[in-house]
Structure formats: structure tokens, C-alpha cells
Structure 1
Amino acid sequence: MSKSIFITGATAGFGAAMARRFAQDGWSLILSGRRAERLDALAEELSGQTDVTTLVLDVQDRAAVEAAINGLPEKFNKLTALVNNAGLALGTTTAQTSSLDDWETMIDTNVKGVVYCTRLLLPRLIAHGAGAGIVNLGSVAGNWPYQGGNVYGATKAFVKQFSLNLRSDLQGTGVRVTNIEPGMAESEFSVVRFAGDKSKADAVYQGVDPMTPEDIANTIHWVLNQPPHMNINRVELMPVNQAFAGFAIHRKG
């Protein structure tokens, strides 16, 4: 049986790297993202290797997600894998000065988007049975606090717990669930976080030798190609030059 994978946020970074990695093995691709021109370019690039279907979609929009999934071709009634990759961080300010609009956007994308896509695609994954899998893109920010991480870290903590609870609910279906928890990886992530300021984004990675989108794509490829009886519960990964933050102490005076 041919394998198929649904990747959200496929227009750049981790998502595009995953699309290229799974295309190498001939997996059929369902690629969703907000930027039609990038989806078209990626589909044109990969269509010589495998079957590619694209969905111009914002995962924050429940009705649009439902309509897009319900409109998938019949050949995708059985889906091998879902990668909930779409997500973002906005701002690095402390909670008392942060934008509520930014907080709401992160919650709508990182939490609601994951929930919508998962719930609506679960019947297809369950129909596939053994070997099917859900991979959620969490973050070390869901495990370790840092100043300015407030709501972003909280959304990734949700993803971690949602992944664990899915594992409990899906017992007996054959569907596997993994939470991938990357640390510093260079992509458009920081450009978005700093509202398009590329100089600030570049400074984040200066002298660090961060992970790449290809590193994350290769990890997810490994997870989804384990034998059907194995579940990789979670993978936390960082570049060698990054480590756990120390305790913050505020001293009087």
C-alpha cells in the first residue's frame, strides 16, 4: 500500500524540508499552507517524484480546514501520517507588555490549528490502522521556561500534553503519536517572531551552529519509518551549542 502524509505549514522551513524528504521515498504528499505561490512552486518541484496535492489553508480557520479535508480526493481516505507543523512565535516581550493580538494568534495557530487538523483527520488515520502516525511539532519552550516565552511556551506545553493524551485515546487503533521538541533551528521562525526584522533574526543564530530544517525533517522521517509496533513518544533535540537555561535570580538593589 502506498504511503501518504499530510503536512501543515509546508511552504517554508521544517514543512518544506519534510515534503522534500518524504518525496524521496515516494510518499504521496498533501501539503497545506497560506502562501499559494510557494505551494505551487513546491508542488512543481516534487511532482516528478511523487503525487502531490496542495491546500491553500490557514489552520486557524476551522470551517476552511473542515472544507479542505472533506474535499480531499478519495485516494486519501486512508492516510498514513499527519504532521502538525504549522505554528509560530510572535514577540519576545514579557507578559506584562505583550500584545494580546499576538497571544491570540499563537493560541489560534499552535493550539486550535493542531486540534482542528488532528480531529478531522483522525478517522482517516484510524482507517489506515497499524503504522499510521501523528507527529506534532512541539518545542523545548514547552518544557523549559524563559523570559519572553510566556504564551508561546504555553501553547507548546499544550501540544506536549495533547500528544500524551492522544496516545491514551488511540490505544488499540494502531495509530502512533510523537511530539517533536526542537531547540534552536534556523528557519523563518525568528523572522516571523521579530515581525520581519531579518537583522534581529540573524543575530539569534550568530556563532551558534543551529540545527537546520533538514535535521528536523530527517528526525521525523526516522520516527514515521519505525516498525508499526513501535511508538516514539517524544524527541527533544538541540544543537550542541545550546543547553538548558539556568535559574533566573533577581537580586535587590
Structure 2
Amino acid sequence: MSLFNFSRLHNKIVLITGASAGIGKAGSNVILVARRTEALNDVAAACRTAHKESGVNAGGKFASVTLDMSKKEQIAKLWDQVPSELRNVDVLVNNAGFVYGLERVGSIAESDIDAMFATNVLGLITMTQILVKDFKARNAAGHVINLGSIAGREPYVGGAIYCSTKHAVRAFTGALMRELVDTPIRVTEVQPGMVETEFSIVRFRGDKSAADKVYEGLDPLTPEDIAEEIVWAASRPPHVNIAELFVLPTNQASATLNYRRPKE
């Protein structure tokens, strides 16, 4: 028996904040939301290619929405940029989020604090409120999938603000699931450990060499690994809700405990 029943996602409409192409392979219609137009266009093209190569005769509609998740006034105008045929969203994937620096408390720039909370927490909450309100209005069996982090389970030195934002996401997601228990709406939090993306490059403010050292000597998760977990959670039967998915590389056991191969 296959663990993936992509037919459950055929023709579903999936809205993703922070560009991601993984669900495009499942025969879904995808709304991509991010602040960088050029990156959005690249991901939309990748979605179209993935859908074409899959041979799935479903879905295949893709819309790109340039929107800064740190700006609540832009999020409020979401539907103005979404084609009418894609407005009945089935799955919301709150993927947008980032971290700046490793400064300790007392040395953290106020602008960094504001930026992380604006996107990671307030933007996520604002977007979720819009979609949950819409799900309820349509009596739809919607699904909210929030990208949390191991940082939302375990604080670490140099991560006071980022960990705080991800703890907030975990608390918000847990409360939301409890509030929606009498509805057909599902709520999931995916909590990755070390994933090699632009995440560390942003953390080190563009210093790629410093970012590369984060993953030296081990095999981190990839964006495709997390996309696969999102697709799996979204493709469960309607009566099954995957509340949490805590996903680590094999050689990571906690936020600060990992095994790295010795340098040759």
C-alpha cells in the first residue's frame, strides 16, 4: 500500500507563503506568495515543469503573488492578487520565516527583533486568520500547515529571538487546532531540524562560507525532504490530522547535539 495517495490532492488549491515547488508534483493548483518577484517566477516555472513531467491530469494552475509577509496591510489585500478561480483555497502552507544573527540578549538590534516577529509570527497569524475565516465561511475541510522548527521545541544560545518566534508559532498552532476541533479543518505543524537552504546564509547576513560551516561533516535535510513531509501530511484521509511532524537529519539529536564526520 502506498504511503502517498496523491489523488487526495488532485485539483486542490494550495497557498504557500515562501516559495516552494514540492506540492506541484501532486496534481494541485498552487498559489505562491513571496516578496521577491523574480524568485516567485522561477518557482512558478519549476512548478509547471514538475506538473508536466508528472503526467498528472489534474491541477496545473499556478499563480504568483508578490507580497511581503511582514506587512499586514499587504496580506489584507491578498485576494486582490489571486485569480477568482483559485480563491477557494484547500491548504495553507505557512512557510515564510527567517532568522538574523546569533547575537545574545543585550546586543540584539531592535530592527532584527521587529523583522523576525513581523514575518515569523504576526505575518503567519494574519494570513492564517484570513484563511480560517474563509474555510469557516465555506464550511470547507481546509488544512493549515505551519512550518515551525526545532527552535520552537528547544531554545539555544544565540537564538533568543528566533526561538521565541518559533515557540510562538507552536503555541499558536496548538491553540488553533483545539479551537477547530468541532470543524473539518485540520491543523499541522512541521518542525524541521537542520535544513540546508538560504536560512543560514540569511542568518549570517550573506556570508556563505560561515553558512556552509553549519552543515560541515553531516548530511542535513533538504528542502525536498520537508516538501515531501508536507505533501504526506496534506494527503492523509480527511479524518486523519497529523498534528506534529518533528523531522531531523539522522546525525542530529537536538538543537545543539549532532555528530559530524571527522575531517580527512
List alignment gaps of at least 5 residues for structure 1. Answer: 11-15, 248-253
How many angstroms apart in 2 are the aligned matches of 1:147 and 1:134? 30
TM-fit CA distance, 1:97: 1.4
| Cα pair distance change 1:32/1:164, threshold 3 Å | same
Give the structure 2 partner of residue 112 of structure 1: 122
How big is the alpha-carbon RMSD for the aligned residues of Structure 1 and Structure 2? 1.7
Q: Deviations over 1:99-120 (max 9, x none)?
A: 1111111000100110111011
Shift of residue 70, structure 1, vs aligned partner: 4.3
**Identity percentage over the alignment?**
39
Answer yes or no: is 1:8 the counterpart of 2:17.
yes
Cα deviation for residue 68 of structure 1 reads 2.1
TM-score by length of 2: 0.86
Q: Which of 140, 145, 163 matches 1:129?
A: 140
- The SS at the match of 1:244 is coil
Corresponding residue for 2:54? none
Equivalenced residues, count: 238
Alignment of 1:170-249 (within 5 A): 170-244=180-254
SS of corresponding position for 2:38 = helix
CA apart distance, 1:29: 0.4
Q: CA deviation at 1:25?
A: 1.7
SS in 2 for 1:208: coil
CA distance in 2, matches of 1:41, 1:220: 21
Specify the alignment match of 1:28 in structure 2.
29
Write the distance in 1 (CA, Å) between the matches of 2:256 and 2:211: 23
User: Runs of at least 4 residues of structure 1 off by over 3 A?
Assistant: none
Hey, what does 2:55 align to over in structure 1?
none
Scaled by the length of structure 1, what TM-score is found? 0.89
Please give the residue correspondences for 1:9-88 in structure 2 after superposition, counting only pairs within 5 Å: 9-10=18-19, 16=20, 19=21, 21-47=22-48, 49=51, 50-88=60-98
Amino acid in structure 1 at the alignment position of 2:237? P
* Contact residue 97 and residue 119 of structure 2 kept, 8 A: yes
Q: Kindly provide the CA deviation profile for residues 71-129 of structure 1, in whole angstroms up to 9, marking residues without a partner as x.
A: 42222332110000000011112112111111111000100110111011223333262
Q: Is the 8 A contact 2:15 2:31 kept in 1?
A: yes
Cα deviation, residue 46, structure 1? 2.6
- What residue ranges of structure 2 are gaps of 5+ in the alignment? 1-9, 52-59, 258-264
Cα distance in 2 for partners of 1:143, 1:169 equals: 21
In structure 2, distance between residues paired with 1:140 and 1:43: 29
* Secondary structure of the corresponding residue to residue 146 of structure 2: strand
